[in-house]
Amino acid sequence: MSIIIRAARPDDIDTIIGFIRALADYERLAHEVKADRATLFNHLFGPRPMAEVLIADRNDAPVGFALFFHNFSTFEGRPGIYLEDLFVVPEARGGGAGKALLQRLARLTLERDCARLEWSVLDWNEPSIAFYRALGARPMDEWTVQRVDGEALRALARVNSCEGHPEC
């Protein structure tokens, strides 16, 4: 029952979508999933990939995934890796897949000369928080995540076309 961690391939797209939906169900956020096959495929495997995925296989069957991308620390002057999602199917939890995914991400972080590996966890998700603490993760309690999306994002993006142009 060894676990193999591998980079996702284009033919994994349906598996990745399945993991995303299962994670959303677990996090009670299924109503927020908008990802579709074509969009996700383009952003993961298209001409300009925006994120990467690792798949955890046990006995040649996918049991978990980690979706991540690079960010950048101006203070460090180096990139980092941000883990957007980590999910292991319930029947495989406790079998080492989650730890193996995080270990591979830690190695990638070092191999790519990144300064840090970061992620967010829902504050009610005590099992995951305990798991992360056991691996040496520490909370960044002084930071609060901020988000602009939907109509607020569209409103923020609107620019008066004459702003900064006295000739208008």
Annotated domain spans of the chain: 3-143
As a whole number of angstroms, the distance between CA 108 and CA 1 comes to 24
Structure-block tokens of residue 28: 């009670």
The arrangement of secondary structure in 3-143, i.e. its CATH architecture, is 3-Layer(aba) Sandwich (3.40)
Of 45, 42, 34, 23, the residue nearest 120 (C-alpha): 23
- Which pLDDT belongs to residue 159? 66
- Known catalytic residue at 26: no
Do 1 and 45 meet the contact criterion of CB atoms below 8 Å apart? no
Per-residue pLDDT of the chain (168 residues; tens, 9 = 90+): 699 999 999 999 999 999 999 999 999 999 999 999 999 999 999 999 999 999 999 999 999 999 999 999 999 999 999 999 999 999 999 999 999 999 999 999 999 999 999 999 989 999 999 999 999 999 998 888 888 988 999 999 986 655 555 654
Q: What is the 3-state secondary structure (H, E, C) of 79-128?
A: EEEEEEEEEECHHHCCCCHHHHHHHHHHHHHHHCCCCCEEECCCCCCHHH
Question: In angstroms, how far apart are the furthest CA atoms of the chain?
Answer: 70
- DSSP assignment, residue 12? G
Report the amino acid identity of residue 161.
S
Residue with tokens 């296989």: 57
Question: Which of 65, 68, 131, 132 is labelled catalytic?
Answer: 132
Chain centroid, CA 95 distance in Å: 21
- Which pLDDT belongs to residue 167? 59
As a whole number of angstroms, the distance between CA 94 and CA 88 comes to 9
